[in-house]
Structure 1
Amino acid sequence: MTSARSDRWLRLDGTTNTRDLGGLPTTDGGTTAFGRVLRSDNLQTLSDDDVRRLVGELRLRDVVDLRTTAEVLLEGRGPLRSVEEVTHRHFTLLPERGHHTDVFAVEEDELPDLPADWVETVLPRQTTEADEVEPPAVRAYLGYLHHRPENVVAALRALADGDGDGAAVVHCAAGKDRTGVVVMFALAVAGVPDEEIVADYAMTAEVIDDLVAKLRESPTYAEDMSRRDVASHTPRGETMRRVLELLRERHGGPLGWLDAHGFGAREQAALRARLR
């Protein structure tokens, strides 16, 4: 395996899109630290060796899961769920039907009844009317900020408040859209310039063929993966560039949006310290 210190990709048996947020330049001439925060696709298929590396070598202590309740329950308990040292937190960025208890606070004995159109419940494409002129991916990302701002902030708080000596991983299904938005805010707080944030977001394109193939093997995601071609799943730099541009126009930038939603200077300083 290539060292994460010379290659930000973390090559695991059970994931396709895991990388370290360390090694990125900041506007004040510094760099983000390795081994603090990882971003990833779904962790359900980690091997025993993956778990040993993550928990033993990287000291993974916090998992921030951005999937919907339906995704979590349909996919079932992943191998990290049985590791006592690892804390799991769940903050869906998509609207959900009905009331759901935190699936990591209680155990579900049986899969609950899901609506006939459960695929739309798993991955609903919710946007706002004011953003209909924007490209689909931009609309979706702005939809997270409109419909679930409290969970965007909660995910960042979980990253800031985690075990200071250990690592955290933030993930969704593919590790590109929901994860990409939370990571964008985290890197902005750390002082990473826009173009580096855009480049980090676009890195998923390097593994998109393998990533889509992996998700097609899961009954939870197969339909969503198959009804669109790989090109439509591929992240493009201009998408994140446009989101950053709109945040600047509307809020003065990502930090302004965070300030407006209760993630102020003290919490931003804590997250910056975690990443730096």
Structure 2
Amino acid sequence: MLWLDLEGAVNVRDVGGIPTDDGEKITRGRLLRSDNLQNLSPADVTYLVDHVRLSTVVDLRSPAEVAAEGPAPLTRLGHITHVNHSLLPEHGFDATAEALLVRRKREEERFPGDPSCAHYLGYVEERPDSIVAALRAVNRSPGAALVHCAAGKDRTGVVVAFALTVAGARREDVIRDYAATGERLHLILDRLRSSPTYASSVDSVPEDHHRPRAETMEAFLEQVDKRHGGVLGVLGSNGFTDDELDALRRRLRT
């Protein structure tokens, strides 16, 4: 993977270079992952557009987050396609305290012992439509596609793990890519603390609880295998066709 050091985002990387199970590699310049893009500088925008050849932004934040944060620099460019596919349940981000307690209890029952894994399984069970739509947007992008949420860790981690799995990346490398966000965790949390949208939630738990652990992604993918027939099973049962699978695999590998 290739880190992109931007002025206004701290968890940006190109997943190109990740090995596949047949000895090839994911192609560079096809799929990027990132934290929130609200603070990109003019130099960042120029780099992404002119050097990376970015053409599509896939935003996994909830509508409430998007509204609270307002327009980002890239949204002002008409030639960049922006799509928003939330992985949270409807009214998930701005849910009432009572609704949050109900959701937390459901997640504890879904996968006791690892709240993050339980949360990710919730994306699959409650918003598979958004996962499918996000991958379709990557498929249709004429240039590089960038997938992001707030931290570029959880929601982005799940969608990118699905994309890499379709492309034939080795599972250990899918897990390694997910955990790599931990290298930038302190910077990510500092960015989120600077935003009124996210500041209170960041410090509601100890900092280390935000750390992406390899064991979490490993457990998540194992549970997807057991409960849903794997990544391809989830996608196929939600309308992602064999032709689309082939197209995404080719896009990320050639």
Please state which band the TM-score falls in when normalised by the shorter chain.
over 0.9
1:186 maps to amino acid = A
Report the CA distance between 1:134 and its aligned residue: 4.5
Could you say if the C-alpha distance between residues 90 and 126 of structure 1 is closer, same or farther in structure 2, counting changes exceeding 3 Å? farther
Describe the shift of the 1:53–1:235 C-alpha distance in structure 2 as closer, same or farther (beyond 3 A): same
Report the CA distance shift for 1:126/1:20 in structure 2 as closer, same or farther (over 3 A): farther
Q: Identify if the C-alpha distance between structure 1 residues 160 and 126 changes in structure 2 by more than 3 Å, giving closer, same or farther.
A: farther
Task: Confirm or deny: 8 A CA contact 1:22 1:33 kept in the other structure.
Answer: yes
Provide the residue aligned with 1:221 in structure 2: 198
Paired letter, 1:189:
V
Q: TM-score when scaled to structure 1?
A: 0.86
- Could you list the per-position Cα deviations for residues 234-274 of structure 1 after superposition, in whole angstroms to 9, with x for gaps in the alignment? 00000000011111222332112211222121111111111
1:256 maps to amino acid:
G
Task: Give 1:32 deviation, angstroms.
Answer: 0.4
Consecutive unaligned residues of structure 1, counting only runs of 5 or more, are 1-6, 99-113
% identity of equivalent residues: 50
- Are 2:107 and 2:115, in contact at CA under 8 Å, matched by a contact in 1? no
Letter in 1 for 2:219: R
RMSD between aligned alpha carbons?
Answer: 2.0
Conservation of the 8 A alpha-carbon contact between 2:30 and 2:251: yes
Q: How many Å apart are 1:133 and its aligned residue?
A: 2.3
- Partners of 1:127 and 1:140 within 8 A in 2: no
> Aligned runs of 1:144-183 on 2, under 5 Å?
144-163=123-142, 166-183=143-160
Whether contact under 8 Å (1:126, 1:143) holds in the other structure is no
Alpha carbons 1:199, 1:237 under 8 Å: kept: yes
Separation in 2, partners of 1:117, 1:251: 30
Provide the rounded CA distance (Å) in 2 between the counterparts of 1:115 and 1:128.
18
Q: Is the 8 A contact 1:127 1:142 kept in 2?
A: no
Distance 1:125 1:79 in 2: 34
Q: Which runs of 5+ in 2 are unaligned?
A: none
- Asked whether the equivalents of residues 94 and 126 of structure 1 are also in contact (C-alpha less than 8 Å), the reply is no
Instruction: Establish whether residue 51 from structure 1 lines up as the match of residue 48 from structure 2.
Output: no
Find the aligned partners of 1:217 and 1:244 in 2 and give their Cα distance: 33
| Separation of aligned partners in 2, 1:204 and 1:78 | 22
